[in-house]
Structure 1
Amino acid sequence: MSTVWNEGYFTDVAYTYGYYREINPVFQRFCLLLRGFAAPDAAQQQHCELGFGQGVSINIHAAASPDSFVGTDFNPAHAAHANQLAAISGSGARLFDDSFEQLLARTDLPQFDSISLHGIWTWVSRDNQKIIAEFARRHLKPGGLLYISYNCFPGWSPAYPLRQLFALHDRFIPGATGAVQRVEAAMKFSEGLLAAQPNYLKAVPHLPERLKKIMEQNRHYLAHEYFNREWNCMYFTDVVDALSPAKLDFACTAAPLDAVESVNLSPDAQTFLGSIGHPILREQARDYFVNQQFRKDLYVRGPIRLPPVLRHQQLLQTRFVLQQHAADVPLKVAAAAGEATLQEAVYRPVLDALASNQYAPKTLRELVAALPALQEVQVLEALTVLVGTSAAAPCQSEAAARQVHKRCDALNRHLIERAQFSNDVEVLASPVLGGGVPVRRFQQLFLLARAQGRKNAQEWAQHAWRIIEAQGQRIIKEGKTLESPDDNLAELTRQANEFAEKGVPLLKALQVA
């Protein structure tokens, strides 16, 4: 049962165990560099995450980076879980269950090179938003960056009343006792209201489809997403104004695909936006063209534009690595302008080059040298799209990777052992990325079997089947439950063979396997 300390935030169920690459300092620095901004360059950086949820992201980053990390989440159950992971990795991360107000009052905090908050801003009160801005004003270094993500208009405008229906039903008809039951009841109420054809549907005919997609999502996620007392959707310019007292200026989004306008905007839209001289007005106008409903933004306290020559040199030195098997990367990308087909004559050679030498990371300079038929600008745009779609990622330095290898091994060993009983954390720490790489539960079980000396895919599958069979679990394939042991083992064997062929080489390159 939640109590007064929750300040209206939904705490009756724990938050999900998601990982968010946008909080990775390596990824953040790449986003700034891509747009021509200088990033913090201290040798030993200090980072802070506000509202870390279950602490998966901050612990992955603390384990996989030589930097120092501080964070808070005022739910003590979240903080307890996060501190357990920190102790296992030995990262030294300092993780509190302070409210933002309590964190602001602390006198034992350093000046930070970055402060990050993912999915926090529009779910807290206006007073807490002011406290967050004041925290950044006091604790973010000059030149430091702030990452912030939030629900925004105009994309949320048509469906905003849906959230209001959920919250009002939960407030005025509190019949259900459990969190999941409360969510279900509010969803059913809203579904019934729309089925009765209110006039509002004439203005927003796609609302039932939007509700259907919402109803397909994890109920614990929905409880935190829609059932808090505070839910302050904002325009981009509202956030700019709210952060200005902290001396923060908008730099760019933490979405590399936004840098490739051809997949996001029509030629007419590009021309119109290009005619707007003020960068803040241009960014706000862009949200109308892409119908933005969730922003991932980077602000800097005193942004510095890099000279083009220096930006070019730093990009050439940046290392990249694939996170998917090259043959499995689709040559299509879904963006604001619709689905775009990527040029095979450009992307296939880039993917092959990234896959060469057992997927070892490669600098942009090395890739350009290996692809003489392509122009450097083509290679960089291809890498930008591949990073934007999570098929590839920027890397930290080899020296940094060497420093954190043991910590990553310790955390990953715990997570793959935990996969015997749960699929809640489907990410492992990579010293190469300075962050996380997606690894599904069965793949983690195959890694566990491999670590225990089982030599081939058939043995990995048998090991995984013994674990899930003992728990009365069955595999669901194409929406159908596989009932017989033979069918389950056959499917696991298929997955293990595919993992041995495609997954293990990738994870070796990422220093996870």
Structure 2
Amino acid sequence: MSAVDFHGYDASAGYTYGFCPEMAPDWLDLSAMLAGAAPARRDGQAPFRYLELGCGQGMGLCLLAAANPQGQFVGVDFLPDHVAHARAVARAAGLTNIQFSDGDFVALAQQWPVDFGRFDYVSLHGVYSWITPPVRTALVRCLGQATASGGLVYIGYNAQPGWLGSMPFRHISRLLKEESNQPSEAVMQASIGLFDRLAAGGANSFRILPGLKSRLAAVKRQASNYLIHEYLHAGWHPLWHSEVAKEVAGEGLTFVGTASLAETLLPGALPPLLRATVEEQVSSVLRIDVQDLVINQSFRRDVFRPSSLWPTPAGDVVLEGKKIYLLKPVEGDSLTIATSFSEIILQAPAYAEIVSALDAGGRSIGELLALPAMRKQGRSNALQIMALLLHARIVGVGRSAPAPIRAVQGLNRFIAEEASRGRRYDHLAAASLGSAVVATADDLRLLDAWLAAKGRIDAKSLAATCADKPMGDQGAPADGQTAITPDRAAAFLNQTLPRWRKLGAVAQGQA
């Protein structure tokens, strides 16, 4: 078994550095409470243990560890390059509450490490639908051994039926790899070229499977290392919710709800006939699979927990104590929010009072529910509006009291420096959120220059400093980097930095 093809997993390229806010502890707790279940922690400031299986480059876990110093984090991945990168980031940032381990799920399932113990949160993103059935069986056994009583398990996975239109592309790509013996990156380019010719020639599959054309268009916009991990594994197999629920039930895990908060509006947000069809199904797994058929679900973020000891719901007091923060400004008289089931248009009266209240700083859900317009909406509708704003990344859920920011400062300084050299990092740790905030390539360059000047710099000088500093490793612009104008630097100083300070991504007096 080669290192490039480990248990059928194509390991020829490293994965991306992405971050999923749905994996943050506070987000998972909120997901459970919105489903009427108990969070893993009733006290958001309490210590906890967090495990990510298949942590990839480890960037997401480092962001969480920096923003949650009261937590202890463990990341496991079988790719040595991933683990080496993760350890290097943690070391450079001075993180002391995180460790990374080389780990093969099959070996871990046979003998779970005593020093790992059990965790309040266990997460895995993408990997569940990318591995072969025997490895998935071992992974499920690891979940059973790793999850503490009352803990929460997050599983993000490619779901059916949304991937049906991609099956031909995936099949041919994998077959090209097996038959051509070319490097994986060359295989992906060859596959794209082949399907371009098929589309141009009017192949019937593009008529019968409309999703094939849109998937091909999406593939052309994605990085090759992502495509390799998405399409070239021998075990690639999008799954129905019922299949995942049945597999993890063997280890005593029961479905709690979804971390895709917009989907908490379902089936109520569906047209009446479709809603009734979903609701009349005889079991929860059948209802969810039929609902996914209705919306053409392509990715699920399911939350499970051990069923041996089902904690009592936390109650309204704990839910209403969760704090919400504004992540970005809102302009215009309406918001169009894309969800997995439709575009939802919110008119300003539905959300403007929330945005206005949050503009001054974080507010608890209870405080937001008490706003006059929210009382008029009613509790259920007000919570749905908050769920949509969270889904759209307009607001974020976070800690009731900000964490110490020292670890965040160290990591974010490292991120800014590396991004300026062309590394494709795109988030900063945020102590108030206990999570991370999106940062563009240009904003990270500006942050790096601002930190180097210890904050004592005006917009014109900041723009000039960025212009003088080579972009990327070879002096060429990295992805997303553009020439920085004084106006762009002024927007960073006057808008972006103050917002990051409120979120705890930059300390109030940091320079």
TM-score where L is the length of structure 1: 0.90
1:233 aligns with 2:226: no
Q: Distance in 1 between matches of 2:426 and 2:4?
A: 33
Q: Distance in 2 between matches of 1:441 and 1:257?
A: 28
The code of the aligned residue for 2:18 comes to G
**Residue 334 (structure 1) aligns with:** 338
1:384 aligns with 2:387: yes
The structural deviation recorded for 1:271 is 2.4
The question of whether the paired residues in 2 share the 8 Å contact of 1:409 and 1:512 is answered with yes
Q: How does 1:378-457 map to 2 (within 5 A)?
A: 378-398=381-401, 401-402=402-403, 404-451=404-451, 452-453=453-454, 454-457=456-459
Greater helix proportion: 1
Q: Distance in 2 between matches of 1:396 and 1:469?
A: 36
**Residue 29 (structure 2) aligns with:** 29
The question of whether the paired residues in 2 share the 8 Å contact of 1:266 and 1:337 is answered with no
SS across alignment from 2:40: coil
Match of 1:497 among 469, 481, 490: 490
Q: Distance in 2 between matches of 1:373 and 1:51?
A: 41
The question of whether the paired residues in 1 share the 8 Å contact of 2:242 and 2:285 is answered with yes
Q: Distance in 1 between matches of 2:292 and 2:471?
A: 49
1:268 aligns with 2:273: yes
Change in CA separation of 1:4 and 1:215 when aligned onto 2, cut-off 3 Å: closer
**Residue 485 (structure 1) aligns with:** none
**Residue 512 (structure 1) aligns with:** 505
Q: Distance in 2 between matches of 1:373 and 1:111?
A: 40
Match of 2:126 among 110, 115, 119: 119
Q: Distance in 1 between matches of 2:344 and 2:266?
A: 12
Of 363-372 and 58-67, more deviation after overlay is shown by 363-372
Deviations 1:31-81 (A, max 9, x none): 111111101228321111011111011111112111111111111011011
Q: Distance in 1 between matches of 2:300 and 2:322?
A: 26
**Residue 509 (structure 2) aligns with:** none
The code of the aligned residue for 2:463 comes to A
1:102 aligns with 2:102: no
Match of 1:468 among 453, 467, 470: 470
The structural deviation recorded for 1:222 is 0.4
Unaligned runs of 5+ in 2: 507-511
Match of 1:134 among 141, 152, 160: 141
The structural deviation recorded for 1:500 is 2.4
Change in CA separation of 1:205 and 1:447 when aligned onto 2, cut-off 3 Å: closer
The structural deviation recorded for 1:439 is 1.1
**Residue 8 (structure 1) aligns with:** 8
Of 85-94 and 468-477, more deviation after overlay is shown by 468-477
The question of whether the paired residues in 1 share the 8 Å contact of 2:5 and 2:11 is answered with no
Deviations 1:11-50 (A, max 9, x none): 2221111111122111111111111110122832111101
Unaligned runs of 5+ in 1: 483-487
Q: Aligned pairs, how many?
A: 493
1:58 aligns with 2:61: yes
The code of the aligned residue for 2:147 comes to L
Change in CA separation of 1:372 and 1:325 when aligned onto 2, cut-off 3 Å: closer
The question of whether the paired residues in 1 share the 8 Å contact of 2:420 and 2:471 is answered with no
The structural deviation recorded for 1:266 is 1.7
**Residue 318 (structure 1) aligns with:** 322
The question of whether the paired residues in 2 share the 8 Å contact of 1:442 and 1:464 is answered with no
Deviations 1:435-488 (A, max 9, x none): 1111112212222232223332222211211113695435999xxx98xxxxx3
Q: Distance in 2 between matches of 1:215 and 1:107?
A: 45
Q: Distance in 2 between matches of 1:172 and 1:269?
A: 44
Q: Distance in 1 between matches of 2:195 and 2:218?
A: 13
The question of whether the paired residues in 2 share the 8 Å contact of 1:60 and 1:429 is answered with yes
The structural deviation recorded for 1:150 is 1.2
Q: Distance in 2 between matches of 1:455 and 1:262?
A: 52
Q: Distance in 2 between matches of 1:89 and 1:24?
A: 20
The structural deviation recorded for 1:267 is 2.5
Change in CA separation of 1:476 and 1:424 when aligned onto 2, cut-off 3 Å: closer
SS across alignment from 1:150: strand
SS across alignment from 2:13: coil
Deviations 1:281-337 (A, max 9, x none): 111111011110111110111274755xx5322222111001112338961111244
SS across alignment from 1:327: coil
Of 463-472 and 410-419, more deviation after overlay is shown by 463-472
The question of whether the paired residues in 1 share the 8 Å contact of 2:128 and 2:156 is answered with yes
**Residue 162 (structure 1) aligns with:** 169
Change in CA separation of 1:4 and 1:363 when aligned onto 2, cut-off 3 Å: closer
1:347 aligns with 2:340: no
The structural deviation recorded for 1:131 is 0.8
The question of whether the paired residues in 1 share the 8 Å contact of 2:334 and 2:345 is answered with no
The structural deviation recorded for 1:8 is 2.3
1:77 aligns with 2:78: no
SS across alignment from 2:315: helix
Cα root mean square deviation, aligned: 2.5
The structural deviation recorded for 1:408 is 1.1
The question of whether the paired residues in 2 share the 8 Å contact of 1:263 and 1:338 is answered with no
The question of whether the paired residues in 2 share the 8 Å contact of 1:318 and 1:363 is answered with yes
Q: Distance in 2 between matches of 1:504 and 1:381?
A: 30
Change in CA separation of 1:251 and 1:329 when aligned onto 2, cut-off 3 Å: farther
Q: Distance in 2 between matches of 1:499 and 1:277?
A: 54
Q: Distance in 1 between matches of 2:267 and 2:458?
A: 45
Q: Distance in 1 between matches of 2:14 and 2:267?
A: 40
Q: Distance in 2 between matches of 1:502 and 1:108?
A: 45
Q: Distance in 1 between matches of 2:23 and 2:299?
A: 16
Q: How does 1:297-312 map to 2 (within 5 A)?
A: 297-302=302-307, 304=310, 306=312, 310-312=314-316
SS across alignment from 1:19: coil
Q: Distance in 2 between matches of 1:74 and 1:328?
A: 47
Of 184-193 and 385-394, more deviation after overlay is shown by 184-193
SS across alignment from 2:169: helix
